[in-house]
Structure 1
């Protein structure tokens, strides 16, 4: 972009601004012959001529280009709708705008897509011979702080109307809960949610030498990395993690006779099982009767508030007469749990990450401790749960 100097301060002008200033000058037009000749040949007459002193002249450098070839060049820029550099900048802006749009829509983007976007933008503005090569793409990503990142979650497509409906449901839910939370003691407002854990948790990344194409890691039991058990913690608004922790173990062949006896020593765990390691409506009914309702009774005679996500497994337990009498249950809107459910938003992530870190440490230091066995799983869960119940870790709840 050309620069026009006003006094001591350089001010960047667009081509159209430069042409406009030239045309606004007294007796000035873009006729190269007449204006250039006027500038070169006019006398130094104080009454009406041009004073050659650029500090006094009305045709000084801040008014016009005194060289005819410069005027011709600017006219060519205007006719071509900008300089090549300006067009390259516009290609950058259009490409980045399309990148943002794709990102908003959740579309997977690679370097080849950036190349196609840039070439399409260049064609749209008439920039010939533009090539979105590796160096241009590299600089484009560097300018806009763009990197290749691993996809951590795949989600279904949602229309804008569906997303808007979810946003409205979140606002409505917040409005409904504010007066309830304002009048209910913090230790009487609970949230619960299920979280699945692999029998053996292994980190997805490891340190390795640069340039290594094949990175392998060892697990104690490969099958244990593809099967899971489920926990269901309870937290309250006052920052407490409530005991016991409900745990559903993975028992594909059914629980052995020694199941209860083997796990009876873990007082802060309520242990049950299923062939899939996942909870059913029957498990949830047991959780209500044996874990939550006794906790609600112990606090006070006032009804407790329970926030849960929308899941069909709750229905059987929610119909219990005792549940209706002692609990005021509120369902978090579908599609909003990942954004407003307390356990989903924060605690479950911290708990699972700590479990994974401790599993890595055990594999490194105590390889004889098999993480995926029933009793060792319970030991690890019990220790971690006990730590997270500590008063100093209220900030994690």
Structure 2
């Protein structure tokens, strides 16, 4: 059975209004009864998307919940606050509880139906892809060959990867995370954008640093070597028995840092533009880590009972110790299998050249 878009239906209606229903039926091969039905729906057809083909779907069961929830979503977006499906479901449950609706479960299917009924959609920020260097296939193979050759006699527990991950929170500026090929994790370093160390108690399992730019620099890179890499359980003072894999960030390549690294490990610098193929953290760890961190932040934002506000009515940011706990739990939640998968994909797999050519 043939279906018609709203745009096509309106075209048929226009013909029927000008030349009659029978003429339109003959011209477009549509039943006259169907055209009369479309005439009744003309207003709805004019206001919906041009590609819509039907108005099927049951009415919402919990109308009052959805009315209040829609107002909540609109108010959040008007204030330029992020709204996720998880937040919508939690707020729906809270409203239903206030209304005494015990049969409301706020499932994912209901959430997406609610969004469709109210014209909401999920969107993500777009970014410009990193350009691939010339002869990138050859550079990928050379790097993998170099790492495999240099690590033949090195235990996997002494092969590590370090990377910096910025977070767009009001309070976090940067975090440095470190993993090893066996799936083990070193303590993450949190770098706060400030000049003095916060006078709060931070949780065990993280290292906290500060600087006025909130970013990794030569001094902090040396701190990472001393306080993280050289403190690992499988530490071997002989530099030929370990390897650090890192990208070509400026703070990684200064003469002082390179000299410091060479005193404790071999170093493999990923060619510029190829971290998405050769950086284990980029491949499998950073995304789930940031998702875990985002979930912590959303839960904190949703818990308004004990929230504190400024005189201007804006919510105060989370404490430094709270953020440090988020980083700790989010990093711990990344599984060992996920880390091992990142190393395997970065260093063992052959790239799909067709996929690489169509990635951008």
Q: Which bin holds the TM-score, normalised by the shorter protein?
A: 0.5 to 0.7
1:179 pairs with one of 149, 155, 158: 149
Aligned to 2:205: 268
- The answer to whether residue 186 in structure 2 is matched with residue 255 in structure 1 is no
The 8 Å contact of residues 306 and 327 in structure 1, kept in 2 or not, is answered as yes
Q: CA deviation at 1:312?
A: 1.6
Q: Unaligned 5+ residue runs, structure 1?
A: 1-136, 140-147, 200-223
**Structure 1 residues 381 and 394: CA distance shift in structure 2, 3 A:** same
Distance in 1, Cα, partners of 2:207 & 2:123:
39
**Structure 1 residues 278 and 368: CA distance shift in structure 2, 3 A:** farther
**Structure 1 residues 151 and 333: CA distance shift in structure 2, 3 A:** same
1:289 pairs with one of 221, 226, 236: 226
The 8 Å contact of residues 288 and 317 in structure 1, kept in 2 or not, is answered as no
Q: Unaligned 5+ residue runs, structure 2?
A: 1-49, 53-121, 308-315, 340-360
Structure 2 residue matching 1:198: 3-state secondary structure: coil
Aligned to 2:47: none
**Structure 1 residues 367 and 299: CA distance shift in structure 2, 3 A:** farther
**Structure 1 residues 190 and 293: CA distance shift in structure 2, 3 A:** same
Structure 1 residue matching 2:200: 3-state secondary structure: helix
Aligned to 2:357: none
Aligned to 2:30: none
1:336 pairs with one of 274, 282, 288: 274
Distance in 1, Cα, partners of 2:213 & 2:305:
27
Q: CA deviation at 1:300?
A: 6.7
Distance in 1, Cα, partners of 2:181 & 2:275:
17
Aligned to 2:358: none
2:129 pairs with one of 131, 149, 155: 155
Distance in 1, Cα, partners of 2:253 & 2:133:
26
Give the superposed CA RMSD: 2.9
2:181 pairs with one of 209, 216, 237: 237
- The answer to whether residue 159 in structure 2 is matched with residue 189 in structure 1 is yes
Structure 1 residue matching 2:192: 3-state secondary structure: strand
Q: CA deviation at 1:271?
A: 0.5
Q: CA deviation at 1:396?
A: 2.4
Distance in 2, Cα, partners of 1:367 & 1:286:
40
Q: CA deviation at 1:273?
A: 0.8
1:368 pairs with one of 283, 293, 306: 306
Structure 1 residue matching 2:263: 3-state secondary structure: helix
The 8 Å contact of residues 231 and 246 in structure 1, kept in 2 or not, is answered as yes
Q: Which has the higher contact order (CA 8 A, sep 6+)?
A: 2
The 8 Å contact of residues 178 and 188 in structure 2, kept in 1 or not, is answered as yes
Query: TM (normalized to structure 1)?
Result: 0.48
Structure 2 residue matching 1:193: 3-state secondary structure: strand
**Structure 1 residues 278 and 163: CA distance shift in structure 2, 3 A:** closer
Query: TM (normalized to structure 2)?
Result: 0.52
Distance in 2, Cα, partners of 1:379 & 1:151:
27
Structure of higher CA gyration radius:
1
Aligned to 2:189: 246
- The answer to whether residue 295 in structure 2 is matched with residue 357 in structure 1 is yes
Total equivalences in the alignment: 212
Q: CA deviation at 1:337?
A: 0.6
1:165-188 CA-partner distances (Å, limit 9, x unpaired): 222211111122222333321101
The 8 Å contact of residues 309 and 332 in structure 1, kept in 2 or not, is answered as yes
1:307-328 CA-partner distances (Å, limit 9, x unpaired): 0001221234755655323210
Aligned to 1:167: 137
Which has more strand, going by share of residues? 1
The 8 Å contact of residues 172 and 323 in structure 2, kept in 1 or not, is answered as no
